[in-house]
Structure 1
Amino acid sequence: MSEFTLNKRFEKALKGGPTDLIPVCSVTQTGTVELMEMTGAYWPQANYDALKMADLALAGYKLAGFENVRCPFCTTVLAETLGCTVAEGSIDIQPYVTDFPCKKKKDVKDITIPGSLLESRRTSVVLDAVGILKERVGEDVPVVAGLVGPAGLASMLAGMKNYLMWFVTNPELVEELMGVLTEACIEYAKGLLERGADAVTLIDSEAGPDIIAPQMFETSVLPLYRKFCREVPGLKILHMCGDATFVLDPLADAGFEGISIEEKVGVSFAKGIVGSRVCLIGNVSPSDTLLAKGPEEVIIEARACLEDGIDILAPGCGLAPHTPLENIKALFRARDEFYSL
């Protein structure tokens, strides 16, 4: 019998302590059509109803086997709360932004944090779902809650075209917008932790080298991450899609316990950069492997992650809705076989 509960193992791994096994978790979205059919909790309703959100999130743990639970399933919660227009999506399409408030530079001045941020249509649902999940799983299973970071929110509120153009022509404007959005992220993250989340995942791919230059990241975004990490208690993870290699070194000192990387980042190379400063999470491909291949191929890729030194084995990003359940379960076969060698 292991001395570690799933929650204690997860916490130890994030903090760089010794564990009996490498955890197999998902710190990104876990909703799949197969799990929706097994629970009756379908998108888009499960994005807008706390009970359905909790039911589908719990299935990631009870039916798929992830050693944590994670919600929500989309990236539009704060964006809608702060002024974006969002389409609800469908059973296999996540909610998405259809219109945004900052069409001109002067519109940035109008972006403020509503006094009812944690009572909005979207944030209140996630907060309630987190509370339901913690009540259902207790203290032995980690609850992870996700939120979009300041760069990702800025790209939604200003539109990607403006976000990129203003970063070049008027970086102070983007920094002003991201400063306000960071405060919103801090308030929301604190609320998630207070309701029972054991860790929060800040999703901020638009701050990565695939979108902006590493120098821009270090000047404009990194100070905001440090502020977020200083002011938000509890365990914090940063997820960045794309090839984050060129910002891993500063990210490792930002204050996050973990960095979630996708398959474009080589695990062994990343470990050489970050060392023991931060936990590396990932990075089995959610699209090329978990969605499109079979269990044996999943095992091969997962085993490579383990051999290269990954600290928490996980999908490299959110699961595609049509990911087969048997492929998710193959992650655990890979981990267990790795320890039996």
Structure 2
Amino acid sequence: MNKFTLRERFEKALKGVALDIVPVCSVTQTGTVELMEMTGAYWPQANYNAEKMAALALAGYEIAGFENVRCPFDITVLAETLGCTVDEGSIDIQPYITDFPCKKKKDVRDITVPDSLLESRRTSVVLDAVEILNEKVGETVPVVAGVVGPAGLASMLAGMENYLMWFVTNPDVVEEFMGVLIDACIEYANGLLERGAHAITLIDSEAGPDIISPQMFETSVFPLYKKFCREVRGFKVLHMCGDATAVLDPLADAGFDGISIEEKVDVSSAKRITGDRVRLIGNVSPSDTLLTKGTEAVLIEATACLEDGIDILAPGCGLAPHTPLENIKTLVRARDNYFSQ
């Protein structure tokens, strides 16, 4: 089981190379209250201080057993940088948006990618944390950084109600808006890669079929994903909450190396749709299983994912802050048991 380093195994998994064992990772948020207590790196400080962010991310690997490190722990970094007002949250509440700049359609014209994008209060912290993590473990452990995608940013900067309404009444406004936002995503993602990230998770659930129609996705969002994948110089994963089945076929052609899927997506069906075009990551339920059930339930669900052919075993979305540590550790135990048979 030591044929490859964790970083090598992760990268080979994303390339579709046959492996000795499937990696156990999280490409979504990994901060929990137990890990905060064990490291002294608590929210909200760990969302605003690079050293604390790196310490808590490192605990996901060193203590919880994930075979990668991942930061940041919330989805408001670019949104705040581009004009949203954000409450810092608390020990078990992630930062959240309290106000947004685009109340009317004309307001979207005021949103531009600032020259100082990578020097903002929020982005600079994540960039510094990624550099710290890369210096500590980057030779052997993959460093994964999260970036909210164009649809997610549009819904934050305009509010979900406007986002949905404009998509129906003025889709050209939303498309133009997201065209600016994807440039911010690309610049930030490349900045993270330059500072030592090995992979980027683009989080964009607001582009999924639970929010907009598959036709809207293919017309308005899919071209932006292709641009992102062309211009971002590293491994790229797309995370989409909800049942993404209806858009898996085009997603597999966007250029991502992996797609992170929630438990609402059936892994075996998803594999039939995507084939060998992209790798699938997931999809043990973070809320129904990892948070609320015991280790036996985690073993059963994780084993089912492996039997269905998941390429990287992972939570189906970000961990809830009160997820028991033993349940997280059980993911590795399930993988090891499966491959020792």
TM range (shorter): over 0.9
> How far, CA to CA, are the matches of 2:118 and 2:3 in structure 1?
37
**3-state DSSP of counterpart to 1:122:** helix
Q: Where do residues 9-20 of structure 1 align in structure 2 (5 Å cutoff)?
A: 9-20=9-20
> How far, CA to CA, are the matches of 1:4 and 1:181 in structure 2?
37
- TM superposition shift of 1:3: 2.2
- TM superposition shift of 1:93: 0.3
Q: Which residue of 2 aligns with 1:197?
A: 197
Q: Which residue of 2 aligns with 1:166?
A: 166
> How far, CA to CA, are the matches of 1:138 and 1:300 in structure 2?
32
> How far, CA to CA, are the matches of 2:99 and 2:138 in structure 1?
39
> How far, CA to CA, are the matches of 2:130 and 2:253 in structure 1?
28
* Amino acid in the other structure paired with 1:41: A
- TM superposition shift of 1:18: 1.3
| Comparing 130-139 and 119-128, the one that deviates more | 130-139
Q: Which sections of structure 2, spanning at least 5 residues, go unmatched?
A: none
> How far, CA to CA, are the matches of 1:215 and 1:259 in structure 2?
19
What fraction of aligned residue pairs are identical, expressed as a percent?
82
Q: Where do residues 35-114 of structure 1 align in structure 2 (5 Å cutoff)?
A: 35-114=35-114
Q: Which residue of 1 aligns with 2:155?
A: 155
Q: Which residue of 2 aligns with 1:253?
A: 253
**Cα deviations across residues 289-322 of structure 1 (Å, max 9, x unaligned)?**
0000000100000000000000000000000000
- TM superposition shift of 1:139: 1.0
- TM superposition shift of 1:2: 2.4
Q: Which residue of 2 aligns with 1:7?
A: 7
**3-state DSSP of counterpart to 1:239:** strand
Asked whether the equivalents of residues 138 and 196 of structure 2 are also in contact (C-alpha less than 8 Å), the reply is no
> How far, CA to CA, are the matches of 2:81 and 2:138 in structure 1?
29
User: Do residues 224 (structure 1) and 224 (structure 2) align?
Assistant: yes
**3-state DSSP of counterpart to 1:238:** strand
Q: Where do residues 285-304 of structure 1 align in structure 2 (5 Å cutoff)?
A: 285-304=285-304
Asked whether the equivalents of residues 80 and 122 of structure 2 are also in contact (C-alpha less than 8 Å), the reply is yes
* Amino acid in the other structure paired with 1:306: L
* Amino acid in the other structure paired with 1:280: L
> How far, CA to CA, are the matches of 1:291 and 1:119 in structure 2?
36
* Amino acid in the other structure paired with 1:123: T
Q: Which sections of structure 1, spanning at least 5 residues, go unmatched?
A: none
**Cα deviations across residues 198-254 of structure 1 (Å, max 9, x unaligned)?**
000000000000000000000000000000000001100000000000000000000
**Cα deviations across residues 80-134 of structure 1 (Å, max 9, x unaligned)?**
0000000000000000000000000100110001110000000000000000000
**3-state DSSP of counterpart to 2:253:** coil
> How far, CA to CA, are the matches of 1:116 and 1:132 in structure 2?
21
Q: Which residue of 2 aligns with 1:319?
A: 319
> How far, CA to CA, are the matches of 2:5 and 2:137 in structure 1?
12
**3-state DSSP of counterpart to 1:98:** strand
**3-state DSSP of counterpart to 2:93:** coil
- TM superposition shift of 1:175: 0.4
CA RMSD of aligned residues (A): 0.5
**3-state DSSP of counterpart to 1:92:** coil
> How far, CA to CA, are the matches of 2:15 and 2:246 in structure 1?
23
User: Do residues 136 (structure 1) and 136 (structure 2) align?
Assistant: yes
- Give the TM-score taking structure 2 as reference length: 1.00
- Give the TM-score taking structure 1 as reference length: 1.00
* Amino acid in the other structure paired with 1:80: E
Q: Which residue of 1 aligns with 2:179?
A: 179
* Amino acid in the other structure paired with 1:67: E
- TM superposition shift of 1:340: 1.4
* Amino acid in the other structure paired with 1:160: M
**3-state DSSP of counterpart to 2:141:** coil
Q: Which residue of 1 aligns with 2:235?
A: 235
**3-state DSSP of counterpart to 1:144:** strand
